Amino acid sequence: MTNEKKYQVLLYYCYVKIEDPEQYRFEHHKFCLENNLKGRIIIAHEGLNGTVSGLREDCERYMAYVKGDPRFAHTDFKLEAHEDHAFQKLHVRVKPEIVHSGLQHIDPNVRTGVHLSPQEFKQIKNADDVVIVDVRSNYEHSLGHFKGAVTFDIENFRDFPEKVKDLEQFKGKKIVTYCTGGIKCEKASAYLLEQGFDNVYQLHGGIIKYGLETDGEDFEGRCYVFDGRVVTDINKKNPSVVSKCCVCGKHSARMVNCANPVCNLHAPMCEECGWEMEGACSPACKEHPEKRAYDGTGYYAKEMNGYDPYHGLKNTQKHLS
């Protein structure tokens, strides 16, 4: 009897010009539906960004479909095995940016930091002339980060530019940025270059690729991911737990969203407190009238807000038949 996991989770992005995002969204979404894929995909004039899950063979078809388009032929997919779908639904949406940065004037295809492979990053990360910079949000780096990394007190990536002044003291050193899958670093490193930093690098493929292609050495804690898994393990050599339960203060690598949707705090919470607090981060949130039912995971599928994944497809199918 095999224990091989039948599903995969794909994480990817591609900065490339898309002339008609709405039309491509329709085509892309139709392919996902026909191949039983679930996930969150963002399409913009500046490119494509997604995390999808499906059976191994469906994911292989999806990667072939994406790379079969010359625009996305160089897309780098990060693949992780999983027991089931990592998503409950499929969302394919058009947005102004493929990651909300407020840096729409920056085109990573024109200028960005030097890409370092996971092995290259591993070799230089502890050098005296290197500063490792985490460009992720508070709730992400509080759960896990590279040993010795500079972190910022930010709620969203769009707050990153105002924190760059904190790096002025390191202008004479090599700055190496990292994030979950690499997409934020494309613009973060480009912005650093724009602000006068000379030696700027980025971890290509981010934390996920580093964990997949190395032993994950010196990544402390676990990595927050934007799917139903919520967190994933990275370090196979010297793993540790750095985050603490927001209720009792005990070390815990479990990440939850507060069951109160008005709060929706992303925070570590141990299993005991999770059940005791019914997934809420505080007594006030536990008593909130809109509190969601807690199932032990602390993960809540994104509300559709009127979004219909089948919109327009029925009419198209009738026209083609």
DSSP letter (8 states) at residue 126: T
Helix axis angle, 21-34 relative to 56-68, nearest 10°? Answer: 150
Q: Give the pLDDT of residue 126.
A: 95
* Cβ(170)–Cβ(176) below 8 Å: no
* Cβ(234)–Cβ(210) below 8 Å: yes
Q: Give the pLDDT of residue 316.
A: 43
- The Cα-based distances of 24 to 19, 20, 181, 264, 286 in angstroms read 9, 6, 23, 32, 43
Q: Which of 266, 245, 259 is nearest to 300 (CA)?
A: 259
Q: Give the pLDDT of residue 318.
A: 41
The sheet carrying 200-203 orders its strands as 114-116, 200-203, 174-178, 130-134
Separation of alpha carbons 218 and 65, rounded Å? 36
Q: Give the pLDDT of residue 299.
A: 82
Delimit the CATH 3.30.70.100 region(s) of the chain: 7-98
Delimit the CATH 3.40.250.10 region(s) of the chain: 114-221
Q: Structure tokens of 145?
A: 């980060």
Q: Give the pLDDT of residue 321.
A: 35
Mean pLDDT, 10 residues at a time, the chain of 321 residues: 80 97 96 96 98 98 98 97 94 95 93 98 97 96 96 95 96 96 97 96 98 96 92 94 95 93 93 96 96 90 59 47 35
Separation of alpha carbons 262 and 254, rounded Å? 21
Q: Give the pLDDT of residue 190.
A: 97
E strands within 73-204? 78-82, 90-94, 114-116, 130-134, 144-146, 174-178, 200-203
Choose, from 32, 59, 179, 273, the residue flagged as catalytic.
179
Other Cβ atoms less than 10 A from the Cβ of 99: the count is 22
CATH 3.30.70.100 fits 7-98, yes or no: yes
Tokens 């929706």 belong to residue: 264
| CATH of the domain spanning 114-221 | 3.40.250.10
Q: Give the pLDDT of residue 173.
A: 96
Host H or E run for residue 192: helix 183-194
Q: Is 163 exposed, middle or buried (0-12, 13-18, 19+ CB in 10 A)?
A: middle
Q: Which of 16, 42, 17 is nearest to 94 (CA)?
A: 42
Q: Give the pLDDT of residue 320.
A: 36
Q: Give the pLDDT of residue 298.
A: 86
User: Which residues, 6 or more positions from 55, have their beta carbon under 8 angstroms from its beta carbon?
Assistant: 6, 7, 8, 36
Does residue 179 carry a catalytic annotation? yes
